[in-house]
Structure 1
Amino acid sequence: MTARVLVVDDILANVKLLEARLSAEYFDVITAMSGPEALSICDRGQCDIVLLDVMMPGMDGFEVCRRLKANPATHHIPVIMVTALDQPADRVKGLEAGADDFLTKPVNDLALVTRVRSLVRLKMVQDELRMRAVTSKEIGMRDPLAEAVSESGLNGRILLVDDRSSSSERIAQALGHQHQVDVESKPQEALFKAAERDYDLVMVSLGLADFDPLRLCSQIRSLDRTRGLPILVMADPEDEPRLLRGLDIGVNDYVMRPIDRNEMAARVRTQVRRKRYTERLRDNVQQSMEMAITDGLTGLHNRRYMESHLATLVEQASMRGKPISLLVLDIDFFKAVNDTYGHDAGDDVLREFAQRMRKSVRGIDLACRLGGEEFVVVMPDTDAGVASIVAERIRSKVAADKFPIHKGERAIDVTVSIGISQREGATDGADALLKRADQALYRAKRDGRNRVVLDAA
């Protein structure tokens, strides 16, 4: 795994040292000697992660980090602060500015590479989601990138895994005023809880007495249900080799004992904020996928979905030797509804029609809006006789009761004409099936409307 790493430091010797270490691990390194130069590089999307010195003239690293995290276009770029400052208050200040991690000078090579790889791995997952989110924004959906900037990271659900009651009580108390904390002393029970409940973060003590805490972390990473769940570990200074191993297998962050409450709170908020950001991206992608195949007015599948699935359903029917039928439905005199009562009334009619049609077909049937006032129902494992019964049921339900319009203030009569076709022979494809149903619909219109006509092929 490689990545473009931006090294920012006003001292050339420091830049060259980090550049040499990262280049030896096959990272692509670019450099900046000031805060404004770093911001410009990030704005142009030229890096995957930033190693940022704190003490710089003009604009220090804290301010650079704040600006990166306040900008929706650069908010997602991981920032590792590289500093000689080693007091908890300094780390808290950096975390509150939005930093993802810290390295203290002189930088340990193994820690450097492990942290960079860990954060790059996370960013690669988010980048794909971000690209799709940008696309969905262009079609009118909410912008999850802008929402991420305002996320507080508070009121998270946290699972704390620690078998020392004195330790877990202090941590739960320290976090309890900002988050909901569940304490679990048994690692195996913790795994079940993590999988079954909707947590924002798991905190694991590396000092578990009778269980390897890294195995628990690995198990959390291996389950589909918890693969994206952030993990923060609590470690003692002598735990550094295991801590680095943990970061390598997917641990997101850590706090060292004795734990500084403010630093822990800041790191927890960072992880909760990042998880919610990723979830927003995933939800946005899911919604955009649904929008791509769903008619926004009626909630039925749209023409694109119908065309892509009709051929598959016809092919499956051919392979299994089963019948398949298709209905094409057209609301009678729909243009007159729009011209007389307005397009809002027309939309009311379309929604009500879709609801009545959906109630008249089976779960396995594919109901779609083809466009305008025209609809299609694909009926697998169904011959023309059964399809005719269903079509007549739809027709009668539409004609039986008036359609409410203008928020129920008025009601109008609506009827529908329906054409039916059944697949005929092994060479009868999706296009032919649709064409014959459309021809049957035309005959229904010609013969007086408000009727069902079966294709005579």
Structure 2
Amino acid sequence: MGLARTPLDIDSVSVIVVDDARFTCEMIRRMLKGAGYHDIRVANSAHQALEMMRERKANILLADWLMPEVDGLDLTRQVRQFDEETNHYTYVVLLTAKEGVESLTEAFTHGVDDFINKSPDNKELLARINAAGRISSLQNALLKANQRLTELNRLHEERHSFDTITGLGNRAYLERQLDNLLRHVEARGGAACVAAIRINDFPKLVARYGEAVGREVLEAAANRLQQSTRPLDVVTRIDQACFGVLMNQEDLEQCHPNAFRRIHQALNLRAYKTSAGFLSIGAAVSICGLGATEESERPEPGEIIDFVSRHLGEAQLTGRVHMVEWRHRAPG
């Protein structure tokens, strides 16, 4: 119903006619040109047609079923692969002398959209081509709209993956990076080292000095973290006063408190310069290492982050980098 009412913009429809019989190609080209089509390309082999498509996509491919070397069905298969790679839709019509349900089933199984007897009535062929043009135009418009929607969703996700105060990635970003690293470790070995870092007594600090000073402390802590980590380490802010750091180590032995000593010292040994003066503020650091596991046993990133964060109280009490061994928390 909607298709029938959709006007066809012939000027925007590109047609490729492919047949090893030059006379057939020329006859169809003249018929289409007489009907108002302008973008018509003619190929005398499937290889030539594919080259034309790679140079510039087509809306409609009108091809002979029986051709030497590559027939219409194999050509259709390659066109469908090309469409998948380029996010495009090519409407394929085969010209054939074959008849019967078996031929129809064979054609549709291979991805053919329509087929018509060879040497058809011009009116019937033109009607099929006009319908193909409308369907292809609508389908490609939908593909472009979906692609644009996907891009907008990706941009939306990226914008919502970063903390507005520190400019660091947020918890969602850390979870994605941790999931990627766990898969990498599973495939290639090594270890993922996860750290949770919390500014001690941050709510009390904000209550005493105000949110502006709290923001200054967070920004300073973020800068110190970035200066104390390696270029490929992931530094994020995952909660109000909690940061997350992700390191890719060669093995679990390297996921050791010594690897985070510099971070601990950077956050704890120097006072923070704020608009309220220099403030001595501590930070707790809890870390956990994970090696390769079977995919079925791989923990969820959020579960790991929560596990490490639960040990921050112990880290604050000891005043040192607190190492915890990963233990899966049973449900309930």
Structure number with bigger Rg: 2
If asked which structure has higher relative contact order (CA below 8 Å, sep 6+), I would say 2
